[in-house]
Amino acid sequence: MALPVKIREMATGLLLDAVIEPVKIKDFKIIEKSKDRFNKFDWTLYRKEEVFKLTLKGKDTILGLICLIDHTKADTDAIEIELVEVACENIGGAKQYDFIGGCLFAFACRESIRRGHNGFVFLVPKSGLVTHYKEHYGFEHFPLKTPQRPCGLMVLHEHASKELVTKYLSEF
């Protein structure tokens, strides 16, 4: 089932209808052919995981992707954002659309709440994004560095998750 969201078209400032929905097997072929647009990760390695896409409503072009891991054990009890990526043309000052990343993060928060994790979400950040995630999305940074987490860990708690859901999602 598709979740309706809104993204901003930068040229006009208009809010456009978009949806977040599970990636289908056929989408992975499109993503693989779109390595110029999604060049940070090999998404085909995640075919068996929970991967979701953001598209404009009624369109096929994928604008953003997110991979979630549902940790249900008592010692973790959170949603992990394994990967998140916005298409290259929607990053930086000349981007076509805004709010893609915010909608994807808010979706992860929504899933955390829906699945009984009270909005707890975490990710292992890439080096240059720690400040961005803190300032734009309210993540808290824990610099607990390991070889698997060279930049530590970032966490959203219940309050910050609810704020993202309220700000970016059309319905909850």
pLDDT tens digit sequence for 23-64? 999 999 999 988 899 999 999 999 999 999 999 999 999 999
Distance CA 130, CA 152 (A): 9
Whole-angstrom Cα distance, residue 64 to residue 62? 6
Alpha helices in 13-157 (DSSP H): 25-33, 100-114, 130-137
Could you tell me which residue, 146 or 83, shows the higher pLDDT?
83
pLDDT at 27: 95
Of 23, 93, 25, residue with least CA distance to 63: 23
Q: By three-state DSSP, how is residue 43 classified?
A: helix
Query: Residue 139: which of 118, 124, 126, 155 has the closest Cα?
Result: 155
pLDDT, position 128: 83
Cα–Cα distances (Å) from 114 to 1, 84, 111, 165, in that order, read: 14, 20, 5, 12
Instruction: Using pLDDT thresholds of 50, 70 and 90, give the confidence band for residue 172.
Output: very low
pLDDT of residue 171: 54
Q: Quick one: tokens of 56?
A: 């404009």
- How does strand 97-98 pair with strand 140-142? unpaired
pLDDT given at position 76: 86
Return the pLDDT at 148: 82
- Using the CB atoms, write b or e for 142-168: b if 16+ within 10 Å: eeeeeeeeebebbbbbeebbbbbbeeb
The yes-or-no verdict on residue 147 having pLDDT over 90 is: no
Q: Is the pLDDT of residue 170 over 70?
A: no
